[in-house]
Homo-oligomer: A and B are copies of this chain.
Amino acid sequence: MPSTSPNPSDDARRPSLSFWFDPASTYAYLSAMRIEDLAAAAQVRVVVKPFLLGPIFQSQGWDTSPFNIYPAKGRYMVRDVERVAKSRGVTFAMPKTFPAHSVAAARAVIVADENGRGLAMACALFDAQFARGQDISDPATLSACARRVGLSSDDVLDAIAMDRIKRLLRTQTDAAAAAGIFGAPTFVTDDGEVFWGDDRLEMAFTWALTCARRPSEPETL
């Protein structure tokens, strides 16, 4: 999305908040639908960090989402996301397949981000999946989302097949695991503080601002 900053150099000086998500995550959908407004209000820059939960779950001995492995937790999650989405005026319905096979979608966000449309692409994919019931592993969905955010669908589909993009996603997933990330969404501030879950988004923004002020604003001022 276009920066609201009058000067591009202002944007680079802002504190940032890294938004780590797997495109198949229901709670990351809730965050994606509100993070741009919160970031604008806080004057914090969002850094988009798509990664895959699959390898992280596998390292914990899980072959699918914990919401599938533990049915009571899975049923609760659907009800909880329904309630929160409704309270925010956000449409939500579980897609037929959960979790979606999100490798291509995560790569597509990386490609879009190289063109300044990372968050917009993430939002388009989340909306397709959780508001419109579409399959984000389907090239037709990826193409429609790319066009929706002003990118060439051919260029995006070509790019997600490239080794360079595949490697970037693998590297980012490894970095997530190394940072102690075990679920999505996760938010990380410039000083490395980790916040897990849509419920911590406000606290993460507050932290992002506070840690940014520390070096230049001693407590005695």
A residues sitting closer than 8 Å to B (CB atoms) are 60, 70, 72-73, 75-76, 79-80, 83, 87, 180-183, 194-197, 199-200, 203
Contacts and interface: CB of A to CB of B under 8 A. Distances in A.
A76 B180 contact: yes
Each complex incorporates copies of this chain amounting to: 2
Contacts of A60: 70
Contact of A73 (B72, B73, B182, B195): B182
13 contacts: A70-B182, A72-B180, A72-B182, A73-B182, A73-B183, A75-B180, A76-B182, A76-B196, A80-B196, A80-B200, A87-B203, A197-B199, A199-B199
Given A60-B70, A70-B60, A199-B199, A79 B194 contact: yes
Nearest to A77: B196
Given A76-B180, A79-B194, 9 more contacts: A60-B70, A70-B182, A72-B180, A72-B181, A75-B180, A76-B182, A80-B200, A197-B199, A199-B199
A95 B206 CA distance: 29
A180 to B, nearest CB: 5
A76, A79, A181 — most chain B CB neighbours (10 Å): A76
A76 B194 contact: yes
A75 B203 CA distance: 18
A203 B83 CA distance: 10
A204 to B, nearest CB: 10
A66 to B, nearest CB: 9
A79 B217 CA distance: 25
A200 B181 CA distance: 23
Contacts of A200: 80
A17 to B, nearest CB: 16
A171 B80 CA distance: 27
Contacts of A76: 180, 182, 194, 196
A23 B60 CA distance: 27
A78 to B, nearest CB: 12
